[in-house]
């Protein structure tokens, strides 16, 4: 009985979000996304951020709820993963130089904080991309070695 109540609430909330999203899209289309100094484009981006935030919070809360109910010991593993991600982001931040881009001729010059954060995100992408490639290569090597023994 309780599951049906939650399913009904979620269904109503999804319909409300869909109608609001459609309203934002129609409003932007009618008023013009490029007119009014791009205010409609900003509205569309802000709405996308709100929906993304709702999705992230929902996934995290539901995941934590399920983890707590089914296997409370998995929270330790989740905590270790979060600490590892924070350490990785901190390493990427330490490696970021924050120097201005060479040859940039834009009208708005980025602040040193923006440059540092951009470099941090790029370093994090490089580290994660390299780790993904390395894991593929190492995984294939380990699989081939295991198959030779059999």
pLDDT in tens, 21-64: 999 888 888 887 777 777 888 888 899 999 999 888 888 888 78
Do 113 and 58 lie in one domain? The reply is: no
Do 19 and 87 lie in one domain? The reply is: no
| Assessment of whether the complete model's pTM goes beyond 0.75 | no
Average pLDDT, integer, range 59-74? 83
98 burial (CB, 10 Å; 0-12 / 13-18 / 19+) is: middle
Is the pLDDT at 149 greater than 80, yes or no?
no
Contacts for 100 with CB less than 8 Å, ≥ 6 apart = 109, 110, 115
Is the pLDDT at 150 greater than 60, yes or no?
no
Do 19 and 49 lie in one domain? The reply is: yes
Q: Identify the domain boundary among 42, 70, 98.
A: 70
Per-residue pLDDT at 1: 60
Q: Which helix (H) or strand (E) segment is 119 a member of?
A: helix 112-149
Average pLDDT, integer, range 111-119? 91
Task: Tally the domains of the chain.
Answer: 2
Per-residue pLDDT band for 139 (boundaries 50, 70, 90) equals very high
Do 45 and 93 lie in one domain? The reply is: no
Do 27 and 60 lie in one domain? The reply is: yes
Per-residue pLDDT at 128: 95
Can you tell me the distance from the alpha carbon of 8 to that of 26, in angstroms, rounded to the nearest whole number?
27
């Amino acid at each position: 009985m309780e599951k049906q109540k939650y399913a009904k609430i979620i269904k109503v909330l999804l319909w409300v979000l869909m109608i609001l999203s459609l309203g934002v899209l129609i409003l932007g289309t009618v008023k013009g996304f490029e007119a009014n100094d791009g205010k409609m484009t900003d509205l569309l981006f802000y709405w996308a951020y709100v929906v993304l935030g709702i999705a992230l919070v929902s996934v995290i809360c539901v995941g934590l709820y399920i983890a707590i109910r089914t296997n409370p010991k998995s929270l330790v593993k989740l905590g270790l993963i979060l600490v590892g991600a924070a350490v990785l982001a901190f390493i990427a931040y330490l490696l970021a130089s924050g120097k201005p881009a060479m040859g940039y001729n834009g009208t708005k010059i980025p602040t040193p904080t923006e440059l540092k954060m951009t470099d941090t995100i790029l370093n994090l992408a490089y580290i994660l991309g390299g780790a993904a490639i390395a894991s593929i290569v190492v995984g294939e090597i380990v699989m081939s070695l295991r198959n030779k023994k059999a």
